[in-house]
Amino acid sequence: MLCTDCLYHIPKTKFHEEKDNVLNRLFYGITNITYATAFFYFHKASKYRTLIHKLKYKGQKEIGIQLGRMAGTEINGSFFDETNIIIPVPLHISKKRLRGYNQSEMIAKGLSEISGKELRTDILIRQKFTETQTKKNLEERRKNVSSAFKVIKPESLTGKHVLLIDDVVTTGSTLIACADEILKTKNVKVSVLVLGFAEQ
């Protein structure tokens, strides 16, 4: 799935080594993200973009599991050791049925295997079907995912430090919408891990 050369040349961000990184600053003044990191930089012409495409649209869910394991190994021993529950950004049930799985859940599964942290997919749900974010500007993206998510078991979050998982972050709109909903529960923290960081 990944040759030795590809593994060696993964353009890692190393964001997990510094709290005040460019991804974390994406959320400043908008929502309260404790830590944020991405495994690698996501460039349009990159071979790693092809990996994400295969994960999302070609049924190759094992790619997500493997990259989740690798990301988990990468952040081990960092700030992220403080997190204690993993929640993937949910897909709407109709989109999940069409795709066959949630790609963010596959990443979270690999991460959970490596870290031993609890993976929960029954707490945060996507209650509203949203159009793809790909061709929308920042304002349109935020409006598109507004009120799209709902916590259905808030008691399961009390006292937890959630590690929110997604595949790629561009503007952060989806992660912000998820974090805002999770943070409605008292005594909870949210940190973020994504595979790819798409620089603006």
* Residue 33: pLDDT band with limits 50, 70, 90: very high
Give the three-class secondary structure for 42: coil
pLDDT for res 94: 85
Distance CA 200, CA 198 (A): 6
Q: For the segment 5-27, what is each residue's pLDDT rounded down to a tens digit?
A: 676 678 999 999 999 999 999 99
Domain chopping of the chain, boundaries: 12-197
Q: How many CA atoms lie within 13 A of 109 on its CB side?
A: 13
Percent of the chain beyond pLDDT 70?
A: 86
CATH 3.30.530.20 fits 12-197, yes or no: no
Residue 50's pLDDT band (cuts 50, 70, 90): confident
Q: What's the farthest any 2 CA atoms get from each other in the chain? A: 46
27-66 in b/e form (b: 16+ CB < 10 A) is beeebebbbbbbbbebeeebebeebbebbbeeebbebbbb
The phi and psi torsions of 147 (rounded to 5 degrees) equal: 65, 20
Average pLDDT over residues 183-197: 97
Exposure class string for 116-150: b at 16+ Cβ within 10 A, else e: ebebbeebbbbeeebeebeebeeeebbebbeebbe
* pTM beyond cutoff 0.85: yes
